[in-house]
Amino acid sequence: MKHKFVFFFFVILAVGTAQDLRQNSLRSLFADQKAGSIGDAVTVLVVESSSASNDTRTAASRESNLSLSSGAKSGTKSLLDVGASIGTGNDFKGIGSAATKGSVQTKISAKVDSLAVNGNLYISGSRVISVNGENQTIKLSGVVRPSDIQSDNSVYSYNISDAVIVIEGKGMISDAQEPGWLTKFFHWIF
């Protein structure tokens, strides 16, 4: 009787703490743990650099002249001498150039929001870093192919399609870099 009681006790204990095999069906004993389901986390290695330049030169010129003259003589005497001249001119030269460079390197954790029909992962994440009253917010979203996720569950930002990476700063330093309200008003008028 004791043996039956111990056996039933272990059966009840095993049933009560059993795992659902479907829960781990996507996990392999021999593969790395990579994001693949909604809510999974993935580390994004943001490595972005951009450079652009534009140099423009324009020159345009226009000139028009109109003249009219008339004269009449009678012998050695001049009876009527009329002359008129109209001229217009337009000259324009424009030179402009612009150059921008930017570079960002950081790591941010993102989570899988949803799955596409083809298996791609829609991810999004954000991070706020605050140092001495300066807040820096990094937001990221995009679509990742499961094959682009590396064995350590990380993905490079240049492998994210439709990537949106926003870095914003707020605080005393960023406020000091903005023009004042009077300058903004004059730029708006002129």
Q: For 71-75, 84-88, 141-145, 170-174, which range has the lowest pLDDT when averaged over its residues?
A: 71-75
pTM: 0.55
Give the pLDDT score at 3: 62
For residue 52, what pLDDT is reported? 79
Whether residue 97 contacts residue 54, with contact meaning beta carbons closer than 8 Å, is answered with: yes
Q: How many residues does the chain have?
A: 190
Per-residue confidence at 151, pLDDT binned at 50, 70, 90?
confident
Specify the 3-state DSSP secondary structure of 139. strand
Estimate the share of the chain in helix, then strand, then coil, as percent rounded to the nearest 5: 20, 55, 20
Task: Answer whether residue 14 shows pLDDT above 80.
Answer: no
**For the chain, percent of residues with pLDDT exceeding 90:** 19
Question: Across the strands, what pairs with 46?
Answer: 106
Return the amino acid letter for 126. S
Per-residue pLDDT band for 21 (boundaries 50, 70, 90) equals low
d(CA 43, CA 127): 12
Q: Quick one: pLDDT at residue 173?
A: 63
List the chain domain ranges. Answer: 25-53+101-177, 55-96
